């Protein structure tokens, strides 16, 4: 297959989302960053196509689109295509996940999945736990927040399964 290009493929949908690389430092999520050997056949387009099919097969309410990652500083700014994964039912409430594939020479690639944005439910749960209000416990508000946070965590677990399944399909074991 082809080597990863820095351009968003014309065949895929684009979110128009542009993220700066510096905003993703320490935000690796879902899976551990990995180095892939013998990666000349792996491309962002392949991951995009497989992931789009996988989330559809699993029935997960997720959109898989392309976005842009801005890298470098003021004088050496570049952009590269990334995959943006968003929950369709909660596009602004749940974390988005960004998949980045960087070629490291002809045969090595680095794959990272980042979380982006803020989870409103996680914030609310944190605030409730910090306040430890008796009123929240009596009214059941804290229980409702816990239920909603568990639903969100379940979505992330299903998404993790899909990403790992895609990687299992394209990575040849040693």
Q: Where are the domains of the chain?
A: 14-170
How far apart CA 96 and CA 164 sit, in angstroms, is 17
Report which DSSP code applies to 115. Answer: E
Residue 27 pLDDT > 90, yes or no?
A: no
Q: Lowest-pLDDT range, 126-130, 137-141, 142-146, 159-163?
A: 137-141
Contacts of 16 (CB under 8 A, 6+ apart): 67
More confident residue, 173 or 85: 85
What is this structure's pTM? 0.81
């Amino acid at each position: 297959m082809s080597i990863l290009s820095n351009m968003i493929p014309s065949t895929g949908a684009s979110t128009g989302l542009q993220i700066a690389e510096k905003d993703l430092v320490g935000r690796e999520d879902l899976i551990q960053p990995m180095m892939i050997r013998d990666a000349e056949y792996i491309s962002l387009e392949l991951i995009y196509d497989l992931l789009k099919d996988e989330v559809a097969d699993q029935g997960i309410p997720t959109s898989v689109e392309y976005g842009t990652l801005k890298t470098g500083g003021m004088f050496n700014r570049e952009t590269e295509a990334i995959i943006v994964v968003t929950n369709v039912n909660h596009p602004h409430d749940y974390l988005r996940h960004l998949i980045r594939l960087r070629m490291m020479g002809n045969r090595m690639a680095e794959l990272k999945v980042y979380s982006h944005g803020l989870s409103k439910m996680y914030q609310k749960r944190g605030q409730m736990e910090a306040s430890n209000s008796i009123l929240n416990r009596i009214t059941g508000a804290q229980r409702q927040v816990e239920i909603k946070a568990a639903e969100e965590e379940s979505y992330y677990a299903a998404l993790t399964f899909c990403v790992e399944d895609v990687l299992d399909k394209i990575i040849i074991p040693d």
